[in-house]
Amino acid sequence: MRDTYQNGSPAAAGDGAHHLKSLILGHSIRPRRTVLERAKQRALQHDAPSADAQGVRIDLRTPRWQDLSLALPGSKSRSASVLQKSLARADRDPTIRRAFDKLRTRLRQTAQEHNWTSIGVMGPTSGCGSTFVAVNLALSLSRVPGSRTLLMDMNMRSPALADAFDVAVDGPMADFLSGHTPLGAHLVRTTETLALGLNDEVEENPAEILQDGATARTLERMRAAIRPEIVIHDLPGMLTYDDATAFLPQLDAVLLVSDGTQTLGRELKECERLMQGHVPLLGVMLNRARADSITRYT
């Protein structure tokens, strides 16, 4: 981690600059967490007519990827959100697009090598741009022909993906995770290669929801049913609340987003300490860094 920051603070950033740098770091690889193994065993106890190759039973009536409803942008609001405008600018900027494409390729290779599916994207604190990174990474992944990328809005304190994609939401994420909303009624596809799990309600106690055993069972059944290659989970700041820490057992790896205008070296170190023994740190995405400071991070 010492290569991602200098002297306990990030490099200086200039107003209006928006440069991205990705680093895939070498960290110890842990096997899949025992909480998911327990979730699989509990799922086997439910009556269902079929099971996938990993032993999780799936009702034949459960929608598969191709059965998910197609949601077209424009169904939620008439005016573009701040995040929508930022994403539109990023899509037109070849430098930003190349940065995400490079990260996408390295992420896919690492995930395939270690059989990873669930990736968390978070910053040390709020406002680091984790949603911006999660959305652009998911869009880049979905540009691979024949791929299947699922983007989940797990920031239940400040849900933003529905506004980012301008797609209407059919019920809160909490109801889906608890099992009260069926998979086919909650997840939607925007393209043949990208699906979304959205949220339209702020929760008072999201950490309790994220570490509930029902959440682990729902997510395991979801992956077994629609078989995504990669699931990107957009999460709140790790040091701001305990939500992201509570969700670590459901992740295969974490991508940290460091804001060049506010993130401190000690915050990155603390995030790494909290993840140690739970989930590998896939890398750090440096956001809003001044162009002449990027070399310090390589």
Residue 7 within any structural domain of the chain: no
Say if 115 falls within a structural domain.
yes
Q: What's the number of domains the chain is made of? A: 1
* Angle at alpha carbon of residue 251, lines to 177 and 183, rounded to 5°: 30
Integer Rg of the chain from CA = 18
pLDDT tens-digit map of 14-70: 333 344 554 444 343 344 444 445 444 444 433 344 455 455 555 556 899 999 999
| d(C-alpha 251, C-alpha 233), whole Å | 9
As a whole number of angstroms, the distance between CA 128 and CA 237 comes to: 8
DSSP state of 28: P
Which of these, 246, 245, 139, 140, lies nearest to 196 by C-alpha position?
Answer: 139
Asked whether residue 218 is domain-assigned, the answer is yes
Asked whether residue 253 is domain-assigned, the answer is: yes
Residues with Cβ within 8 Å of residue 4, at least 6 apart in sequence: 23, 25, 258, 265, 268, 284, 286, 297
CATH number at residue 46: 3.40.50.300
What is the percent of the chain where pLDDT is above 70?
A: 70
Domain extent for 282: 17-292
The answer to whether residue 78 sits within a structural domain is yes
- 84-133 pLDDT, tens digit each: 666 656 667 788 889 899 999 999 999 999 999 999 999 999 999 999 99
Phi, psi of 266 (to 5 degrees): -65, -25
Helix (H) or strand (E) holding 22: strand 19-24
Residue 1 lies in a domain: no
pLDDT at 75 over 60: no
Is the pLDDT at 6 greater than 50? The verdict is: no
Q: Is 5 within the bounds of a domain? A: no
- 4 in any annotated domain: no
